[in-house]
């Protein structure tokens, strides 16, 4: 009988999909990612495009002085560089990400850093200055709230060790 492998929700841009705000990918070339793809573990998703945001699109950031939890609670916004309010789309993207993780039985997520959706430890500071601060994106927060273990690309070895222990 085949063993069911633990699935990993992965930011689509990390596996080469050109879905970032600038129309590019942020491809992560790593043997572990290639192995997990071959094993059928990866479930690619871009919360922003799944919620209907165009590619390319103006860069967006969580308002300064707030956080992803506040966005999910409806007390903070996600704004683009032109002043457009995309809070509803980011909340919908987070909802889609958590629903996809549940439907596809993902226990882990590997998300790109810096994104107002996917940042797992670092996000932009909300001023469009290029500065990064400790924090998490809206989808990353929602996934953690749903019980997933969320990892940044620089924590691939930690994720691999966890998967190996549970095998």
69 pLDDT more than 90: yes
1 pLDDT more than 70: no
Q: How do residues 133-159 score in pLDDT, each as one tens digit?
A: 999 999 999 999 999 999 999 999 999
Length of the chain: 167
Contacts of 157 (CB under 8 A, 6+ apart): 32
pTM for the full predicted model: 0.95
86 pLDDT more than 80: yes
Q: How do residues 115-130 score in pLDDT, each as one tens digit?
A: 999 999 999 999 999 9
Contacts of 10 (CB under 8 A, 6+ apart): 33, 42, 43, 44, 45, 109, 110, 111
Measured CA to CA, the distance from residue 116 to residue 123 in angstroms comes to 6
Residue 133 forms beta bridges with which residues? 123
State phi, psi for 61 to the nearest 5 degrees.
-145, 150
Averaged pLDDT for residues 72-91: 97
Averaged pLDDT for residues 13-39: 97
What is residue 58's predicted lDDT score, i.e. its pLDDT? 96
């Amino acid at each position: 009988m085949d063993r069911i492998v633990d699935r990993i929700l992965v930011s689509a841009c990390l596996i080469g999909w050109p879905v970032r705000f600038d129309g590019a990918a942020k491809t992560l070339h790593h043997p572990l990612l290639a192995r997990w793809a071959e094993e059928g573990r990866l479930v690619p998703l871009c919360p922003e495009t799944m919620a209907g945001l165009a590619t390319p699109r103006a860069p967006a950031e969580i308002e300064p002085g707030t956080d992803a939890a506040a966005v999910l609670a409806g007390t903070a916004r996600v704004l683009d560089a032109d002043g457009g309010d995309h809070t509803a789309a980011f909340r919908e993207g987070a909802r889609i990400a958590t629903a996809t993780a549940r439907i596809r039985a993902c226990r882990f997520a590997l998300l790109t850093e810096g994104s107002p959706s996917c940042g797992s430890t670092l996000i932009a500071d909300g001023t469009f200055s290029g500065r990064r601060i400790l924090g998490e994106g809206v989808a990353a927060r929602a996934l953690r709230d749903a019980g997933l273990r969320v990892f940044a690309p620089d924590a691939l070895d930690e994720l691999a060790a966890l998967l190996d222990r549970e095998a």
